Amino acid sequence: MLRVLTLSSLFPDASRPNFGVFVERQTLGLAGHPQVELKLVAPIGLPPFPLSRLGHYAALATLPRHEVWKGVEVWRPRFANVPGTGGRLHAAMLTARLTPLLRAIRREFAFDVIDASFFFPDGVAAVALGRAFGVPVSIKARGADIHHWGRAPGTAAQVLRAGQAADGLLAVAGSMRDDMVALGMEAAKIRVHRTGVDLDRFAPRDRAAAKAALGAAGPLVASVGALIPRKGHEIVIDAVAALPGVRLMIAGEGPERPRLVAQIARLGVGDRVMLLGSVAHGELPGLLAAADVMALASSSEGLANAWVEALASGTPVVIPDAGGARELVTAPEHGRIVARTAAAFAEAIGALVAAPPPPDAVRAGAAGFTWEANRDALYAHLAGLVGR
């Protein structure tokens, strides 16, 4: 039996059901493996009091510190997230908080390996903890943990040292592996570990009926991603504004909302562009199956789950050449990889709306992304580290 301690600051809770849902799905999959016993530590970074009782931190501060989440035993320790430090203290604070907790957990659960599901601060802390408890450590890189924390002045050196010291590394795409190597990590240590998609839930549907369920008709573009600058929603809004009769529905929430609302008003497209807010992951299959195109203008990605879910739904994607885009869009039926400009997005969206590819041909692009394959690859990776 392989005893896994998964460490992830990117994991859902009662106040954030959509937060880290793909880490959750991966973790639950591994926990269901017949040869695995798994416990999870999902730390929560909070600023010092009284900031920890304000805004969205207030809900986080009241979460249970220990619970069973969908059948998995979870600890949610708090660690100090000091504002204005550029993250440089996060990993040290996390390590200090987790050391006594893991010592207590280990009395009842002698974990064989630490599986860090995000590189920073989780991976940096995991390396220190692995040394303290004499177990191997794996760290998975997903996107911003390398593209932001791996390059930020206060944290880049920490990320590199953790990558060099970890026993094994995972990357969501080959492009992410290349980025890790460019930072100075050893290529031979990095295994590409693709995300999964539920091919039963995300599947083609009667598109007209799916649109009707959303109160929409005519050409529809969907976009799925947090309302943050990196996702480039303003580019897709400009593109749709240039396509008369085309609607856009954006699923996501974040600090860019006021700016996007102002943009929509300025362009006079309030009747065609909708900001849906945070949409439960369970409601995304209907949106993606209804759309003629899924467009996301991210400046950087690992390999976005929304891309894979769109293809599984029979909906082609229009995306920039970011992250693992070329590893996913491998045939014309899967969509278009375009320049990160409104004009390029408008042209590609217009072409796909005018000549939609067969949904089954689109769906074929997601065939290799299953949660079963994800689980089996992760088990083999972790068991291999323990076996060494």
Residue 100: predicted pLDDT: 98
Taking the alpha carbons at both ends of the chain, their separation in whole angstroms is 16
Residue 320: predicted pLDDT: 97
Residue 302: predicted pLDDT: 87
Burial, 73: exposed, middle or buried (Cβ in 10 Å; 0-12, 13-18, 19+)? middle
Number of helices (H), then strands (E), belonging to the chain: the values are 16, 16
Residue 52: predicted pLDDT: 66
Q: What CA–CA distances, in Å, run from 83 to 11, 52, 347?
A: 21, 11, 43
Low-confidence ranges of the chain (pLDDT < 50): none
- Which DSSP string do the residues of 119-134 spell out, in sequence order? IIIIIHHHHHHHHHHT
Q: Give the C-alpha separation, 57 to 76, whole Å.
A: 14
Residue 108: predicted pLDDT: 96
Residue 331: predicted pLDDT: 97
Pure H helices in 247-387: 257-267, 284-290, 305-312, 325-328, 342-354, 359-363, 371-387
Sign of the dihedral through C-alpha 46, 49, 51, 57? positive
Cα atoms in the Cβ-side hemisphere of radius 13 Å centred on 350 = 13
Burial, 70: exposed, middle or buried (Cβ in 10 Å; 0-12, 13-18, 19+)? exposed
Q: Which residues pair with 229 in a beta bridge?
A: none
Whether omega before 258 lies within 30 degrees of 0, making that bond cis, reads no
Residue 58: predicted pLDDT: 86
Element (H, E) at 302: none
Q: Give the C-alpha separation, 369 to 100, whole Å.
A: 38
Give the max Cα distance, the chain.
64
For the chain, give the number of residues.
388
Pairing mode, if any, of strands 72-75 and 66-69?
Answer: antiparallel
Q: What CA–CA distances, in Å, run from 298 to 3, 79, 162, 252?
A: 37, 30, 27, 14
Asked if 223 and 235 touch (Cβ cutoff 8 Å), the reply is no
Q: Give the C-alpha separation, 354 to 369, whole Å.
A: 28
The set of residues, in sequence order, having a beta carbon less than 8 Å from that of 5 and lying 6+ positions away, is: 38, 39, 40, 41, 102, 105, 109, 111, 113, 114, 115
Residue 157: predicted pLDDT: 96
